[in-house]
Homo-oligomer: A and B are copies of this chain.
Amino acid sequence: MSSQHPPTGSRLGRRNDPERRDKIIDACLIVIAQSGVTGTSHRKVAAQAGVPLGAMTYYFDGMQDLLHSAFTNLAIRVSGEFERSMATATDKQSACEKVFERILQASSGDDDELILSHELYTLATRDTTFRSITSEWMRRSRIALELHFDPLTARLLDAMIEGVTIHRALDSEPRDPQEIRAAIARITGNPSFDS
């Protein structure tokens, strides 16, 4: 008993798999979503990614570096999606509709985005290193919104998205989607959206 590893200890040696690093990052986000940053360890991530433990310290300079890389990836992916979504809007009205969809989707809990972003916020509140990620994320959101709204409205709308999303997620009673429309209507000064 106690066969710790495949019978033949096959060390692959120089294989330079460029996807290896990305696989670890993806696995890291999965583990964080499941267990939180608190419960994330090199061993869990390695297991999730299907790579040996030694690969963790090989590709990343410790836990901090791993987390930073993982959250940077997340921020780039999510803000990219939002940019693309906003870019498809043709006017204020359809832009409002996109924002509505975004809040609805983000607060639905159907994916891990909400959990992961909270984990990131928690790190960023304490650590300046991570704040550069959130800062850049917000900057890109704002710019995407400024395709359709003036700068101040874009900032307020961005903040409102955040607040409504969180409140919807952290309340145990379900919230009426109509509330989202009211929020957007008041911030943008577009009363017709609140129908």
Q: Is A131 an interface residue (CB 8 A)?
A: yes
Mark each residue of chain A from 88 to 107: 1 if its CB lies under 8 Å from any CB of chain B, else 0: 00000000000000000000
- Minimum C-beta distance from A60 to chain B (A): 18
Q: Which of A1-59 contact B (CB under 8 A)?
A: 36-38
Mark each residue of chain A from 114 to 137: 1 if its CB lies under 8 Å from any CB of chain B, else 0: 110011011111101001101100
DSSP majority for the A interface?
Answer: helix
Please judge, given known A-B contacts A126-B36, A166-B162, whether A135 and B186 are in contact too, CB under 8 Å.
no
Could you tell me if A125 and B134 are in contact, using CB atoms closer than 8 angstroms? no
- Minimum C-beta distance from A17 to chain B (A): 30
Could you tell me if A164 and B159 are in contact, using CB atoms closer than 8 angstroms? yes
A36–B92 Cα distance when bound, in Å, is 41
Q: Is A172 an interface residue (CB 8 A)?
A: yes
Q: Is A147 an interface residue (CB 8 A)?
A: no
Specify which chain B residues have a CB less than 8 angstroms from the CB of A156 in the assembled complex.
Answer: 164, 179, 182-183, 186
Q: Is A152 an interface residue (CB 8 A)?
A: yes
- Minimum C-beta distance from A73 to chain B (A): 18
Those 9 A-B pairs whose CB atoms lie nearest each other, nearest first:
A163-B163, A159-B163, A162-B163, A134-B170, A135-B172, A38-B38, A159-B167, A159-B164, A118-B122
